[in-house]
Amino acid sequence: MFEIIAPTVGESITEVRIGKWLKNTGELVKVGETVLEIESDKATVEVAATSAGVLQILKQAGETVRVGEHIGNIEEGAVPKLATNGHSAATISQQTTTTTLSPAVKKLVDEKNVDTSKVTGTGKAGRVTIGDVLEHLSETVNSTGSAAALKPIPTIQPAATVQPQGATRRVAMSLLRLKIAERLVQAQHTAAILTTFNECDMTAVMALRAKNKDSFKAKYGTSLSFMSFFTKSVVEALKAVPEVNAQIDGKDIVYYDYYDVGIAVGTQRGLVVPVLRNAGNLSFVEIEKAIAELALKARDGKLTIKELSGGTFTISNGGVYGSLLSTPILNPPQSGILGMHKIQERPIAINGQAAVRPMMNLALSYDHRIVDGQGAVTFLIKVKEGIENPEKLSLDF
């Protein structure tokens, strides 16, 4: 027999949640076949069978278990077995079902000598309820025409009917959503968060993208996105204002001389932030390809723990959802996060003349304990300059 153990999904993770079993108890599984999905606070991990046989589930979907805990078995060479040793299938079913009855139901079953193998359970996981037993007894009375064996059982009259105002649903939060909530509250409680705003004219970068997007995709096999331009600009801004690429550790400030940029991606499971490693050493094309790969893996739930760990700065693009302005929350223990927003045409003054330009609002939220206002403004101006003058970004396509 092969034991299925809750897998290790990261050094700091001690508990995981069983997302769903892809096979049921009693079903055959093959070697390499995915049998369940495990949720951690960072990602969803698929668990494949390393042995062939019949599946036995010990921990149900939705249960939280410790890493290394025994959650199921695969019985090698096993097949569904019929009742043996002189016991009928009905007797075994009766014994099995009786062990899962609640005390109240068991008492009623014993008093009325009810064969629970003939009772259809409507409770959770098919459990037999008092109502199921009473209905079975009632059917028995109707079929025999005698009610001698059935004693009156007091019933509780329902309260006055109240017209419902609308349907409600209660759904357990995923570990990822719980972790997001925990980290957002942590950021608000442990950092002095302040947000500074600026805007940038997207005319030049939009023209450059429109001119090169077809040839770029034909040559490199990936689309030309605005995120790569912003990532390049952010790296240059971090070089100019290093405290934004730092964090507080006790009474010390830890400065990072490399640039691991987190790119926030919205998925069906929640917001995840895969990290683009060493962005300062990557060419524009390498940045574009890496971002596209991380975004695809994020949406497919294929990100690894390593790809979700660390990061020295984060970029979040609420503009893809239509946001015009927001104050992004820090991703602890980082000291800065840049919020991009929707591109919107609006009139601005250029050399004393009114002109309509595609504008984007930029927001930098930062930890004011380590970043001063001057540094925050300087950072945003550097990003703005890179976007409005993309030829200065060392483009290599």
CATH number at residue 344: 3.30.559.10
Query: Does residue 381 lie in a domain region?
Result: yes
Helix axes 203-220, 226-240, angle to 10 degrees: 120
Query: Does residue 81 lie in a domain region?
Result: no
pLDDT band at 70 (very low <50, low <70, confident <90, very high): very high
Residue with tokens 């019985």: 75
> Same domain for 179 and 286?
yes
> Same domain for 211 and 309?
yes
- Tokens representing residue 44 in the block: 């969803």
Spatial CA neighbour of 25 closest among 68, 89, 75, 64: 75
Strands 53-57 and 44-48, how do they pair?
A: unpaired
**Active-site residue (options: 136, 214, 260, 372):** 372
Query: Does residue 83 lie in a domain region?
Result: no
Average pLDDT (212-237) is 96
> Same domain for 222 and 297?
yes
Chain centre to alpha carbon of residue 151: 53
> Same domain for 44 and 97?
no
Q: Could you list the residue range(s) of the whole structural domain that residue 27 is in?
A: 2-75
Query: Does residue 166 lie in a domain region?
Result: no
> Same domain for 236 and 114?
no
> Same domain for 223 and 321?
yes
Query: Does residue 154 lie in a domain region?
Result: no
> Same domain for 25 and 125?
no
> Same domain for 382 and 325?
yes
> Same domain for 316 and 245?
yes
Query: Does residue 160 lie in a domain region?
Result: no
Exposed / middle / buried, residue 321 (Cβ in 10 Å: 0-12, 13-18, 19+): exposed
Query: Does residue 93 lie in a domain region?
Result: yes
70 catalytically annotated: no
> Same domain for 310 and 356?
yes
Residue with tokens 């991606």: 265
Per-range mean pLDDT, top range of 17-21, 101-105, 163-167, 279-283: 279-283
Distances in Å between the Cα of 269 and the Cα atoms of 67, 132, 301, 306 are: 21, 38, 8, 18
Per-range mean pLDDT, top range of 61-65, 131-135, 211-215: 211-215
> Same domain for 6 and 122?
no
Average pLDDT (34-49) is 83
pLDDT of amino acid 92? 38
Per residue in 113-170, pLDDT (tens digit) is 888 878 887 776 677 877 777 777 777 655 555 444 444 545 555 555 555 567 888 8
Alpha helix locations (H) across the chain? 89-98, 103-112, 130-144, 175-190, 203-220, 226-240, 284-299, 305-308, 373-388
**Active-site residue (options: 110, 201, 367, 368):** 368
Per residue in 322-331, pLDDT (tens digit) is 999 999 999 9
Per-range mean pLDDT, top range of 14-18, 81-85, 385-389: 385-389
Question: What percent of the chain stands above pLDDT 70?
Answer: 85
Report the chain's mean pLDDT, rounded to a whole number: 85
Whether the pLDDT of residue 97 is over 50: the answer is no
Q: How many domains does the chain have?
A: 3
Least confident of 28-42, 235-249, 362-376: 28-42
> Same domain for 63 and 102?
no
Q: What is the distance between the alpha carbons of residues 166 and 143, in angstroms, rounded to a whole number? A: 41
Helix axes 226-240, 373-388, angle to 10 degrees: 140
Q: Is 277 helix (H, G, I), strand (E, B) or coil?
A: coil
